[in-house]
Amino acid sequence: SQTIHQWPATLVQPVGSPLSLECTVEGTSNPNLYWYRQAAGRGLQLLFYSVGIGQISSEVPQNLSASRPQDRQFILSSKKLLLSDSGFYLCAWSKGAGTDTQYFGPGTRLTVL
Amino acid sequence: KNEVEQSPQNLTAQEGEFITINCSYSVGISALHWLQQHPGGGIVSLFMLSSGKKKHGRLIATINIQEKHSSLHITASHPRDSAVYICAVYGGSQGNLIFGKGTKLSVKP
């Protein structure tokens, strides 16, 4: 069966510090991968998606970046965190694009102070 | 105006009540997704539907493509149903999910 992992579960970082969140998927190959953010009081927002290694599409311009160094690994990064980067970050995967069901990871709660 | 609107934003019910959560959308879609977010933040997929009605246990989801509207019903609600229910539609150039802000449901014993 397929599983999706995210770490860390919670993170408190000072403004201006770097960020690296990792997401890995097991039990499937060549998944579509997604990074979402849920800011306090707001709905989920798609940040990045990837259809293959090294292929990243950005939905929202920001100081975040994403990379996919391996088929089942998706990393969300920032060189300098802003207060507005605080939120709940969710990774998800699907077998294909379009209307395939997306399966979500447990999420990382990031607080930037 | 948001592309996906949910109502109500907050809902408190007594155990056993029939619950309805509504979702309206303004974009053309190929499918709609109902998700459940637990208090800890974890998200579980409940339904994905593009027409008609689906039922799973005490949960029923319906969609009317012409009216651009979907409903999620919970029969015989229970405190363990307390969660945020999120409607999401597949839209955008890559068919990515567009999310509503969620409906926070609290079921009191």
Stretch B88-93: mean pLDDT, rounded? Answer: 73
Q: Indicate the residue of B33, B41, B45 with minimum beta-carbon distance to A88.
A: B41
- Does residue A74 have a pLDDT over 90? yes
- Does residue B95 have a pLDDT over 60? no
pLDDT of B29:
76
CA B97 and chain centroid, separation: 13
A63-67: long-range contacts, CB 8 A cutoff, minimum separation 24: A64/A19, A66/A35
A59:B96 CB<8 A = yes
- Does residue B27 have a pLDDT over 80? no
Q: How far is CA A48 from CA A77, A90, B96, in A?
A: 11, 11, 10
Q: Indicate the residue of B31, B50, B101 with minimum beta-carbon distance to A43.
A: B101
Confidence of residue B50 (pLDDT cuts 50, 70, 90): confident
Q: How far is CA A34 from CA A77, B45, B101, in A?
A: 14, 15, 18
